[in-house]
Amino acid sequence: MKKLFAEFFGTFWLVFGGCGSAILAAAYPELGIGFAGVALAFGLTVLTMAFAVGHISGGHFNPAVSFGLWAGGKFEAKDLVGYIIAQLVGAIAAAAMLYLIVSGKEGFTDIGGFAANGYGNLSPGKFSMQSAFIAEFLLTMFFLLIILGSTNERAPKGFAPIAIGLALTLIHLISIPITNTSVNPARSMSQALFAGGEYLTQSWLFWVAPILGAIVAGFIHKALFDKS
């Protein structure tokens, strides 16, 4: 249960901090933090929680990461369902808190797209489904390669959260214009549930592409980079 609570709180913080920065601060009048600020916020959420609770649960905070670590032989299949449920509950709870905050603003009418992910007309840069799938697949694959490599027993000790947090920052700098950046099905699902409509019908891509990319990375790391 400690591991599941750690995953709940870690995923809550990722969504509340990362999506919260996009919703509340990215375009704030005159002093908005922009894409770079949102990218940094996502990286900081993972970095801080990896240090805070990573030693308890492994610091996944993302169903794709759990699948990737399983494929890489670093996580047991029997724990997948529990972790994914904890991650989804944490993400949705954070989205609910963000909704309560946003709905309390003077003049509030609706949340619009919230911080949901999308392709086509829902892509910030109007990128196609194919572009979105390729980006989410490749970025999640490299994210998992960084996670698996930096946490390998032969890697320098104690620096993994920094490498992982900076990797997530870089991923957002690349892909916010493409899909609003997912690489995390729980993060995507939490926002789509509140944004609704086409955001929800497009959410399949933000499950399939990240999980496939993560699994491929797990197999690559296990075959090529793990100890022989």
pLDDT tens profile 197-214: 999 999 999 999 999 999
Is the Cβ–Cβ distance between 53 and 191 less than 8 Å? Answer: no
Given a cut of 90, whether residue 193 has pLDDT beyond it is: yes
- The pair of structure tokens assigned to 173 is 């700098």
What does the H/E/C string look like for 76-111? CHHHHHHHHHHHHHHHHHHHHHHHHHHCCCCCCCCC
- The CATH architecture one would assign to domain 2-225 is Up-down Bundle (1.20)
Tens digits of residue pLDDT in 132-158: 999 999 999 999 999 999 999 889 999
The residues, any chain, with a CB within 8 Å of residue 113's CB and separated by 6 or more, are 122, 195, 199
In percent, how much of the chain has pLDDT > 70? 98
* DSSP type of residue 33: -
Query: pTM surpassing 0.75?
Result: yes
Rounded to whole angstroms, how far apart are CA atoms 128 and 135?
A: 11
What's the CA gap between 107 and 104, in Å, rounded?
9
